[in-house]
Structure 1
Amino acid sequence: MTVVVNENRNKRARVASATHVAGCRMDLNVRDFAPMAADEPALAGGTDEGPSPLEYVTAGLAACQLVTVTKIADAMGLDYTGLRVDAEADVKFRAAQGAMSPIPRFSAARLVVRMRSPEPPERLARLEELVEERCPVSNLFLDAGIAPEVVWAIETTG
C-alpha cells in the first residue's frame, strides 16, 4: 500500500510561541487557538498551573502516534474502534556545572497503542510497520537516540 504525500505540504513550517507570565508559568500560542498554560510542578520551582514542557512533548508523542495510526488505518481501509495511545517518557537528570540545577534529558519512551479490530493479523502487522516509519514525533525521538518502545494492544473482534 502506498501513502501519497503532497509535496507542497512538506515545506510548511509549524509555528508556536511561548510568552512568560510569571516564574516558570508561560502561555503557549499556536495558530488561532486559545493560549495553553505551561508551568513546572512546585517541586521544580513552578506553581503547577499547567503541564510542563516535557509533559507537552510526551503528549505530543502520544497525539502524533494516534494521528499517524488513524491516517494510515483509514488509508488502508482498516476496520477499527476504540483507538487510544498512551505515552510515557523517562527523564534522567545530568549534573550541571556550578550552582545550576541538574539538566533533565529524555532517556526512554514507551507507547501503547490500544484498539479493537476484526482485521487479520497480516493487515494489522502492516499498519504497525507503516506507523513506525512515519510518525514524525516518534522519529524525532529516534533521531535523538531514543527508540520509543511501542506495544500494540489489539483486541480482535468479530
Structure 2
Amino acid sequence: GGHVLKTDLPVLHGGDASAAQPIETLLSSLLGCEVATAHYVARYLWPKPHNRIERIAWEDVTAKRDERGALALPIDAPPPVSPIITHVSGTALVKVAKGSPVSEADVRKLGELVEQRCPVAAMFVAAGCEMKIDWRLEAADRHSE
C-alpha cells in the first residue's frame, strides 16, 4: 500500500512526457516478474547452498508493436492492426555467488522454467507475443561491484 505509479504519454501523443509511458511500465512489470519468478524457481531447482541468485541484469531488451494499432485515425474506426506488443527479446544475465557450481546449462533451464511459471510472461504469450529471452550465466568479471 501507499505506492504511487505515474504514467504519461509523449508530447507528440498528447501527454507531458512527465513519466514513463504505460507500455514501458508494462515491460517493467514483465522484467520484474521474471526476476521474482527466477529467484523462486532457483530456490527449488538448484541444490543448497547454491540456490540463490545474487542479481539478474537485463541487456538489449526490446519490444515491438505496430503503433498503428493504437494511433490510427480516424479514432472511431477499427485500427488496421492489433495494438499488442508482438515481440519481446533480450538477455537476462544471472549472477550467482563466486564458486557456485551453477552452470550455463543450469541457467538456461532456469530460464525455461521462468518462462513457464511467470504470470506476466504467460499473459504476453497468451496474447500472441513472441518471447525470446536469452538466459545466460553472468561472467565473473562482468558488472563488478
TM-score by structure 2 length?
A: 0.72
Query: Contact conserved, 2:95 with 2:138, CA < 8 A, in 1?
Result: yes
Runs of 5+ unmatched residues, structure 2: 141-145
Q: Which runs of 5+ in 1 are unaligned?
A: 1-31
Q: Which has the higher contact order (CA 8 A, sep 6+)?
A: 2
> Matched residues, percent identical?
24
Asked if 2 retains the 8 angstrom alpha-carbon contact of 1:64 and 1:136, the reply is yes
Aligned match for 1:130, one of 113, 127, 139: 113
Query: 2:11 corresponds to which residue?
Result: 42
Count of paired positions: 126
Q: TM-score scaled to structure 1, two decimals? A: 0.67
> The residue matched to 2:6 in structure 1 has which SS?
strand
Range with greater deviation from structure 2 (122-131 or 58-67): 122-131
**What is aligned with 1:21?**
none
Partner Cα distance (2:76, 2:15) in 1: 16
Q: Does 1:81 align with 2:54?
A: yes
- 8 Å CA contact retained: 1:72, 1:131: yes
Q: Does 1:91 align with 2:60?
A: no
CA distances 1:20-49 after superposition (whole Å, capped 9, x unpaired): xxxxxxxxxxxx223221110112110011
- Give 1:7-156 correspondences, 5 Å limit: 32-77=1-46, 78-86=51-59, 87-94=61-68, 96=72, 98=74, 104-117=83-96, 118=100, 119-155=102-138
**CA deviation profile, 1:76-113 (whole Å, cap 9, x unmatched):** 34243232235431121236352569774312111321
Q: What letter is aligned with 1:145? A: G
* Structure 2 match to 1:10: none
In structure 2, relative to structure 1, the CA distance for the partners of 1:127 and 1:42 (3 Å cut) is same
Output the aligned Cα RMSD.
2.5
